[in-house]
Structure 1
Amino acid sequence: MSSKKNSTPGAKPHKPDAMGSAMRVISSIAGSDIAEKLGVRKPIERVAYEATRTGFKTLGAANRTFKKSSGAKKPNPLPDAEKKNDLFDLSIEDEQKMIQETVRDFASGVMRPAAHDADEAAKAPESLIERSSEIGVTMINVPEEYEGVATERGVVTNSLVAEALAYGDMGLALPIIAPSSVAATLTQFGSEEQQKTYLPAFGSENVPGAVVAVNEPTPLFSPFELSTTATKSGDGYTLNGVKSLVPIADSAELFIVAAAYESKPTFFIVESDTDGVVIEADPSMGLRAAGIGRINLKDVSVPSSAILGGEISADERDKAFRDIIRLSRLGWASLTVGTSQAVLDYVIPYVKEREAFGEPIANRQAVAFMVADIATELDGLRLVTWRGASRAEQGLEFGREAALARKLASDKGMKIGLDGVQLLGGHGFTKEHPVERWYRDLRAAGIAEGVVVL
């Protein structure tokens, strides 16, 4: 039997030098007028220097201690991006394009070859997580004052990054995106005290494993009707409940946990070594490479400073929670776009090369229409997601777009995965081809909450 690499009709292995790609884009940005205009030349030059000196090698993040810092107890977010209402323009900016291309190179050349074995093992290889530091996904969500490069909200850029990573593999994208999502959540919704305590770690080379945990193992789960509870206890809070569909659960050092407090859903910051936090493996049908697990919270005591946003009103907490869930839904839609694009790019050469009855199956009208439907639905989902991300970035209302993106990601994403399997016929049902794995991953987009926050 021939190997997987050579037996795939239409497959075109692409093995760029990931570190070289990362250095190329960093050097390009550092030497451009854009870097000077945005005032990010020095942070980028620091990345380039450290990358050259260490070869992007990331040290282990185990047993980290987060040192509490003082500061204002209310949120201190990055400013919204400038509103651009003068024309309808869907083109992305030059620096966004460079970031997107670099992440896509990494996804195609590093993530995709590792995806099959990671799915089988139900865990991402440690070497891959270490190499992900090459593309600096987390740094773009950390303000300059905490050694990052962010000067304003970057929801669109985060959407492009999520899409590009999922093009390699959605399951492997989650362990890379999860810490970035925590950084984005702390930057936009955390108090100054919380930012000073945690963000410096996310702006370093040694990024901690971290994840936003919302899902619960209940039928017809809604993030606005939580079974996990938080009650006032002395000078802090006590959390009880179970969180499911949590990627990198066994290696994460920090969780942002959703719990019902005073009848309103609220986020709490929980360090993984807190007494009462118990992690157990919980492999799922899809997203297996993400190392899915459960967090069991049994009388977990956290200080008063653990409530996300600090000393804000119940209405402000409710608004922040809803915005985070909406950003998460845009994030899952972005992942769906990336994986759906991978399906489309895989099936087009396949149907052109696969022959039946003496001609390529692409000549069959039913096959051609099915491929066209995938492309049509994919473009619709991408445009709705980009629109929602753009409005969120500008501080505009984006609830409608987030709801539409979630609906399309749930329905059309699953259909795209199913059609991809169908177009490959018997091959679509085997693990020799990645489409069956992508189909399983796409089914998760309609049920998962949290984790991916743009």
Structure 2
Amino acid sequence: MNLNPTGFGLAVLRRVAANPWLQRTGLGPRFDRLVYHGSRAGFAAATAGNRAFKAARSLSAPGRPPGAGPAGVFDLTPTDDQAMLREAAARFAGERLRSAAANADEACAAPTELLDEAAGLGLASLSVPESLDGAGAEHSAVTGALIAEALAHGDMGLAVACLAPVSAANALLRWGTAEQQAAYLAPFAGEQPPVAAIAVAEPRTLFDPLTPATTATAQGDEVRLDGIKTLVPRAADAEFFLVTAAAADGGIGVYIAERDTPGLSIDVEPAMGLRAAGTGRLTLTDARVPAGNQLGGDAGCDVRELIALSRLAWCALAAGTGQAVLDYVTDYANDRQAFGEPISHRQAVAFAIADMAIELEGLRLAAWRAAALADAGKPFTKEAAIAHRLAGRHGMAIGSWGVQLLGGHGFVKEHPVERWYRDLRAVGVMHGGACL
């Protein structure tokens, strides 16, 4: 069935906005803005192929929507606002991502019409402050984690493809200067949000994101970038990249590099997992960008915090895919008959599924705790590293258990568990690409 991208995106938002108690909770205006921005994105007629990133207005200061702030008590129960955003993302994942995942994995790319539908949901607009005509009145890492988890329950590769531009917008929101936000962030609230990606990972053994081999050399009013970035989502169609690089003074910066920058080349790089994300490799050879394209200007950005937020995003994606594995395996074990009874009646099977559920709850709660600390303005990089370690180790184990419990069915593409297993293996090695 062919769905109109505009119609589907607006249908999701309007279905949520139609809840009779929405106005009573005071959330109606925010969803009105989402529908408005979804309409603008859906009815876009122009293409972004020749987009020029120029500030359409002058900002006196960068827009920084307030964080969620401390709740006073440790409570990870989603607010009504967060629950409705998660519901919209979950419905989109269940109705659209799940059914398109197998073909996208085979093609190593997400369908254009599906990505247009995702853009029509207006998620990127949530990362744009109202001063730039966006829908973001508040920025929350917990909200981002809930949305990422819901989308990954449909398919992790497609979720990464949908969220790559949102991640770049989040980084611009947190650290971009007024000029950078006016030029690069404002278009995310426009009629056709740009495609962008964060490029951190490099093809090196034991790669450490805080010691990149890619270098940034200041030369007058330009910065020369040299190095290779790998596993960049949607690299082939991204309009600009946020590239981490080491400076001569020993610091690390993030630089905005547009796709037509001389010296920047892009190669398709399919991987074992996340194939639907359209991963690619950036080669930077004497690629020169304006000095003003350093994210955050002379003050730079907190790269350690950027990496921590990226790790939390991957934790949320692992939780969503892990939940998909658990749900699928549970139904399979209850339906599959052996020796006259469901295989779930066997202790070895039941205990394995119970272990999957326990580890899944652990990695999810660790990620939520770290995200809640980030929203409260407290140190969270250690907690993010712990959560990422749990997600990398136990997420892969959940995928492996899923394949084993399905037996021969777990090894064939007729069932989605083998694809989810390949995607979950990526969590432990991915850096960048996603950011809350």
Please report the TM-score for the alignment, with normalisation by the length of structure 2. Answer: 0.93
Secondary structure of the 1:241 match is strand
Deviations 1:270-309 (A, max 9, x none): 1111111100011100000111110011101111110010
Secondary structure of the 1:311 match is helix
Structure 1 outlier segments of 4+, above 6 Å: none
Q: Distance in 1 between matches of 2:246 and 2:60?
A: 21
Q: CA deviation at 1:50?
A: 4.5
> CA separation of 1:371/1:57 partners in 2, compared to 1, >3 Å: closer, same or farther?
farther
Secondary structure of the 1:445 match is coil
Q: Distance in 1 between matches of 2:69 and 2:389?
A: 28
Alignment of 1:67 with 2:54, yes or no, is yes
Residue of structure 1 in register with 2:293 after alignment: 306
Alignment-mate amino acid for residue 301 of structure 1: R
**Which residue, 273, 280, 283 being the options, matches 2:270?**
283
Residue of structure 2 in register with 1:364 after alignment: 346
Q: Distance in 2 between matches of 1:234 and 1:48?
A: 42
Q: Distance in 1 between matches of 2:384 and 2:304?
A: 11
Q: Distance in 1 between matches of 2:370 and 2:60?
A: 29
Q: CA deviation at 1:361?
A: 0.4
**Which residue, 198, 210, 215 being the options, matches 1:229?**
215
Q: Distance in 2 between matches of 1:125 and 1:67?
A: 29
Q: Distance in 2 between matches of 1:137 and 1:432?
A: 32
Alignment of 1:43 with 2:33, yes or no, is yes
In structure 2, the gaps of 5 or more residues are: 1-6
Deviations 1:315-340 (A, max 9, x none): x64xx111100000000000000000
Alignment-mate amino acid for residue 24 of structure 1: R
Residue of structure 2 in register with 1:23 after alignment: 14
State, as a whole percentage, how many aligned pairs show the same letter: 46
> CA separation of 1:379/1:62 partners in 2, compared to 1, >3 Å: closer, same or farther?
same
Residue of structure 1 in register with 2:404 after alignment: 422
Residue of structure 1 in register with 2:110 after alignment: 124
Q: Distance in 2 between matches of 1:44 and 1:322?
A: 31
Deviations 1:85-139 (A, max 9, x none): 2x33221111111111111111011011111011111111101101112322111
Which moved further from structure 2: 72-81 or 407-416? Answer: 72-81
Q: Distance in 2 between matches of 1:18 and 1:432?
A: 29
**Which residue, 78, 85, 88 being the options, matches 2:65?**
78
**Which residue, 180, 190, 211 being the options, matches 2:166?**
180
Which moved further from structure 2: 40-49 or 388-397? Answer: 40-49
**Which residue, 250, 265, 273 being the options, matches 2:252?**
265
Q: Distance in 1 between matches of 2:213 and 2:310?
A: 20
**Which residue, 436, 439, 445 being the options, matches 2:427?**
445
Q: Distance in 2 between matches of 1:192 and 1:40?
A: 24
Q: Distance in 2 between matches of 1:407 and 1:176?
A: 24
Q: Distance in 2 between matches of 1:99 and 1:42?
A: 13
Alignment-mate amino acid for residue 268 of structure 1: Y
**Which residue, 149, 166, 176 being the options, matches 2:135?**
149
Given that 2:44 and 2:192 are in contact with CA atoms closer than 8 Å, whether structure 1 keeps it comes out as: no
Deviations 1:158-212 (A, max 9, x none): 1111001100100111111010011110011111111111112111230111000
Alignment of 1:218 with 2:208, yes or no, is no
Alignment of 1:138 with 2:124, yes or no, is yes
Given that 2:132 and 2:186 are in contact with CA atoms closer than 8 Å, whether structure 1 keeps it comes out as: yes
In structure 1, the gaps of 5 or more residues are: 1-15
Residue of structure 2 in register with 1:4 after alignment: none
Alignment-mate amino acid for residue 15 of structure 2: R
Residue of structure 1 in register with 2:78 after alignment: 92
Given that 1:73 and 1:311 are in contact with CA atoms closer than 8 Å, whether structure 2 keeps it comes out as: no
Please report the TM-score for the alignment, with normalisation by the length of structure 1. Answer: 0.90
Residue of structure 2 in register with 1:296 after alignment: 283
Secondary structure of the 1:63 match is coil
Residue of structure 1 in register with 2:4 after alignment: none
> CA separation of 1:30/1:48 partners in 2, compared to 1, >3 Å: closer, same or farther?
farther
Alignment of 1:346 with 2:332, yes or no, is no
Alignment-mate amino acid for residue 444 of structure 1: A
Given that 1:154 and 1:393 are in contact with CA atoms closer than 8 Å, whether structure 2 keeps it comes out as: yes
Alignment-mate amino acid for residue 12 of structure 2: S
Q: Distance in 2 between matches of 1:18 and 1:117?
A: 21
Secondary structure of the 2:192 match is coil
Alignment of 1:110 with 2:96, yes or no, is yes
> CA separation of 1:130/1:92 partners in 2, compared to 1, >3 Å: closer, same or farther?
same
Deviations 1:42-75 (A, max 9, x none): 6345236648xx5x66754222111146757986
Alignment-mate amino acid for residue 144 of structure 2: N
Q: Distance in 2 between matches of 1:450 and 1:93?
A: 28
Q: CA deviation at 1:30?
A: 11
Q: Distance in 2 between matches of 1:284 and 1:308?
A: 29
Alignment of 1:388 with 2:362, yes or no, is no
Residue of structure 1 in register with 2:313 after alignment: 331
Given that 2:93 and 2:154 are in contact with CA atoms closer than 8 Å, whether structure 1 keeps it comes out as: yes
> CA separation of 1:214/1:379 partners in 2, compared to 1, >3 Å: closer, same or farther?
same
- Spell out the pairing of 1:189-200 with structure 2 (5 A cutoff): 189-200=175-186
Secondary structure of the 1:150 match is coil
Given that 1:137 and 1:161 are in contact with CA atoms closer than 8 Å, whether structure 2 keeps it comes out as: no
Cα RMSD over matched residues? 2.2
Given that 1:215 and 1:449 are in contact with CA atoms closer than 8 Å, whether structure 2 keeps it comes out as: yes
- Spell out the pairing of 1:244-263 with structure 2 (5 A cutoff): 244-261=230-247, 262-263=249-250
> CA separation of 1:241/1:171 partners in 2, compared to 1, >3 Å: closer, same or farther?
same
Q: Distance in 2 between matches of 1:36 and 1:434?
A: 37
> CA separation of 1:174/1:352 partners in 2, compared to 1, >3 Å: closer, same or farther?
same
Q: Distance in 2 between matches of 1:269 and 1:29?
A: 44
Q: CA deviation at 1:450?
A: 0.8
